[in-house]
Amino acid sequence: MPANASSNGERGGSRPFSLKKTIVELTIVAAIAVGAGGLLATLQPPPPAPAEKTAADGATTAVPAQDPVCAAASNLFDLPPVVTNLGAPVDAFIRVEASIVFDAKALPHPEIVAAEIATDELAYLRTLSLSEIQGPIGLANLRQDLSDRAISRSGGKVSEFILRTLVVQ
């Protein structure tokens, strides 16, 4: 009999395969994984509450802000979609869907200001050329120009102009 073999037929000091021991080990590993997953799930912060939409006027209430500076009651109002042709080329059309953020105390009826902003937005879009709104810089400039126009048209009562959809065809 060789020196490294034992009397029960084992070679190299290895132990025989035990199905029962393997199942117990896998059960312990699974229990640790489930416990760790449960712990991580409890440490995760809850998702923010979605904004509630009111059907009467199209305005939505904003999610409460974490920043105390923005704690004022601000609302989101969807502007009507604007579809028009561009200044150049004449056969290119643009569709813009946008929203405005305003303070409910300063602007109790946003419908009137929203109509004025939409009219101003339409007039401005008709003066643009396709090359002016191409690329990321063109989009950023368009967003900034529309935001500045909305703020000035409302007399500062609109705090932000949000460009939701922009399609050029």
pLDDT in tens, 28-85: 988 888 888 777 777 766 666 665 544 444 544 444 444 444 444 578 999 999 999 9
Q: Which CATH number fits domain 59-168: 3.10.20.30, 3.30.479.30, 3.40.50.300, 3.20.20.300?
A: 3.30.479.30
Q: What residues does each domain of the chain span?
A: 1-44, 59-168
Region 140-146 average pLDDT? 94
SS3 106: coil
Mean pLDDT over all residues of the chain? 79
Q: For residue 163, what are the contacts with CB-CB under 8 A and spacing of at least 6?
A: 96, 98, 142, 143, 146
**What is the average per-residue pLDDT within 88-111?**
90
- Residue 149 clears pLDDT 60, i.e. is over it: yes
Residue 141: both structure tokens together: 């400039």
Q: What percent of the chain has pLDDT over 90?
A: 43
Q: What is the mean pLDDT of residues 105-125?
A: 90
| Dist CA 143 CA 137 (whole Å) | 10
Span 156-160, mean pLDDT?
90
Residue 48 is predicted with a pLDDT of: 65
